[in-house]
Amino acid sequence: MSHHVSDKNQVHRTMVVDTLKMVGQVVKLAGWVDTKRDHGKLTFIDLRDRTGKVQVVGYQKMGELTTESVVEIIGEVKQRPERMVNPDLDTGYVEIDVSEYQVLNAASELPLPIDTDGLEINEEVRLKYRYLDLRRPRMQKMLSLRSQYARAVRTALYERNFVEIETPILTKSTKEGSRDFIVPSRLQPGKFYALPQSPQQYKQLLMTAGVERYFQLAKCIRDEDLRADRGFEHTQIDLEMSFVDQQEVMHTVEEMIIESVQAVGGNIQQEPFPIYTYQQAMEEFGQDKFDLRSEAEKKNGVLAFAWVIKFPFFKQVDKTDLAEVADGKSGWTFTHNPFSMPLPEYVAQHLKGENVQQILTSQYDLICNGYEVGGGSIRAHQAEVLRATYRIMGYSDEETEASVGHMLRAFELGTPPHGGIALGLDRIVMLLAGEKSLKEAIAFPMTASGKTAVMDAPDSASPKQLEELHLQLATK
Ligand code: ASP
């Protein structure tokens, strides 16, 4: 087929960044009207696409264009005279002399400004119009950073022969210390699925399945009391390994973190990561999440990772926390994870349920700049150890069976010793981006009151839906 530039349908779209090397050529660009300046007979716009901005010089009629409208233009790339060069723009040496243009979608007045960093704008407004909010350069950079970081994590794990595997979202309760979100079953009246607080049980079952090295970037859903910077769901870099001890898991995770953080230009304070026992941390910092950076390092965006180990396995139930009350029927509940293995020297007393407050777990937490960014443990892979944990929490044999009978069964069918970790992807990206709120690291986060971004959920269900689900709303 013959190729003729003046037939605009046959000119391929050029990306803005490429116009620099196309002086003298006619190009077709498409994107958003970033800014517009009317100068009588001439109209100047900065046209923006995902690669950048370029100045476009058009005739009077282009004065009709509103900012953030989507346009396609055809024009010649011209070298700017020396005194007109704009050093602030990557494409500042050129401009496009428009011959034709077409409005693909006209934008009306914007409900929020997008030429600032956005932090000054009310959260509800930002999230209602998140698709606009994400157009600001700061947010575009964040989306790209998150993607690059996730890729670096995958690369580091694939290089170590981890297998990426998805696990179900409609499942049975898996305890991570929060309330469950439950989903009514239409086909089994009166029964409910729970959304996973983590893939904990499935990843352990993948070890039973012989996978040996599993990972997933997993959505975890927890009905927690909302804090200003977090919603009900988060993403974890979730992994599990077979035939390993605590040091091997920590070492693998540390290598992965260092490689992935450095791959996106992050600056790590200390390698290997320092290790504190829970007791040392409490004595030195008064808490198990601490910040090891100097003031100068804080300014320079340094990431100070550290491990915390040797946590108490159990804690006394906080009576104001309904999830803890439900889990800890005896008044004792787990500090981190009921599926953990006590440290070897405490296994005997764990099995007997003696001196519960002294038992230490194989838990390891990774912290960074004062935040917990991950936690994991060596798991109980023998049925009697998991049974003992539930007994200490006050579960009868029947209650344990109903809760984790499937795990106990798997532990009688050749489950290798194993351990793993889950790292908070949102939190790591937030720290890498130098942001202060997790919401800045998530494309569509929830509002502080638990409403979804853009779409107004939770929403009511129709009487028909409720009927199908065998549900009736209790009237006050
Ligand atoms: N389930 C995780 C783990 O120990 C911890 C978590 O989800 O917070 O691997």
Residue 117 lies in a domain: no
Same domain? 161 vs 310: yes
CB of 167 within 6 A of ligand 1: the answer is: no
Same domain? 83 vs 179: no
Protein residue whose Cα sits closest to atom 1 of ligand 1: 200
* Token pair listed for 319: 């009576």
Q: Number of structural domains, the chain?
A: 2
Q: CA 237, CA 224: separation in Å to the nearest integer?
A: 20
3-state helix, strand, coil in the chain (%, to 5): 30, 30, 40
Ligand 1 atom at shortest distance from the alpha carbon of 363: 4
- Measure 308 CA to ligand 1 centroid, in angstroms: 15
Residue 345 lies in a domain: yes
Protein residue whose Cα sits closest to atom 2 of ligand 1: 422
Q: Residue 95 is part of a domain; what is its CATH number? A: 2.40.50.140
Q: pLDDT for 169-210, tens place per residue?
A: 999 988 788 899 999 999 999 999 999 999 999 999 999 999
Ligand 1 atom at shortest distance from the alpha carbon of 239: 9
Residue 63 lies in a domain: yes
CA-based torsion, 51, 52, 58, 61: positive or negative: positive
Ligand 1 atom at shortest distance from the alpha carbon of 236: 7
Same domain? 281 vs 323: yes
Residue 215 lies in a domain: yes
CB of 240 within 6 A of ligand 1: the answer is: no
CB of 376 within 6 A of ligand 1: the answer is: yes
Same domain? 130 vs 99: no
Q: Residue 129 is part of a domain; what is its CATH number? A: 3.30.930.10
pLDDT (0 to 100) of residue 476:
61
Domain with 64 in it: 8-105
Same domain? 357 vs 310: yes
Residue 114 lies in a domain: no
Same domain? 396 vs 430: yes
CB of 201 within 6 A of ligand 1: the answer is: no
Same domain? 306 vs 387: yes
Residue 1 lies in a domain: no
Pocket test for ligand 1, best of 173, 198, 244 (most atoms within 8 A of CB): 198
CB of 377 within 6 A of ligand 1: the answer is: yes
Question: What would the DSSP string read from start to end of 337-400?
Answer: -TTBPBPGGGHHHHHHT-SGGG-EEEEEEEEETTEEEEEEEEBP-SHHHHHHHHHHTT--HHHH
Element (H, E) at 434: none
Protein residue whose Cα sits closest to atom 4 of ligand 1: 376
Residue 310 lies in a domain: yes
Same domain? 238 vs 270: yes
DSSP β-bridge partners for residue 309: 277, 364
Same domain? 167 vs 310: yes
Same domain? 152 vs 12: no
- 8 Å CB contact between 260 and 149: yes
CA atoms within 13 A on the CB side of 110: 19
pLDDT (0 to 100) of residue 121:
96
pLDDT (0 to 100) of residue 322:
83
Report how far apart, in Å, the C-alpha atoms of 397 and of each of 143, 349, 360, 379, 440 are: 48, 19, 24, 20, 45
Ligand 1 atom at shortest distance from the alpha carbon of 340: 4
Pocket test for ligand 1, best of 421, 425, 427, 428 (most atoms within 8 A of CB): 421
Same domain? 290 vs 247: yes
* Best CA proximity match to 259, nearest among 153, 119, 397: 153
Q: CA 178, CA 340: separation in Å to the nearest integer?
A: 17
Report residues of the chain scoring pLDDT below 70.
Answer: 1-10, 228, 476
Question: What would the DSSP string read from start to end of 12-56?
Answer: PBPPGGGGGG-TT-EEEEEEEEEEEEEETTEEEEEEEETTEEEEE
Protein residue whose Cα sits closest to atom 7 of ligand 1: 198
Element (H, E) at 201: helix 200-208
Same domain? 20 vs 146: no
* Token pair listed for 402: 């109903």
pLDDT (0 to 100) of residue 10:
63
Residue 463 lies in a domain: no
The pTM of this model reads 0.94
- Measure 425 CA to ligand 1 centroid, in angstroms: 13
- Measure 376 CA to ligand 1 centroid, in angstroms: 5
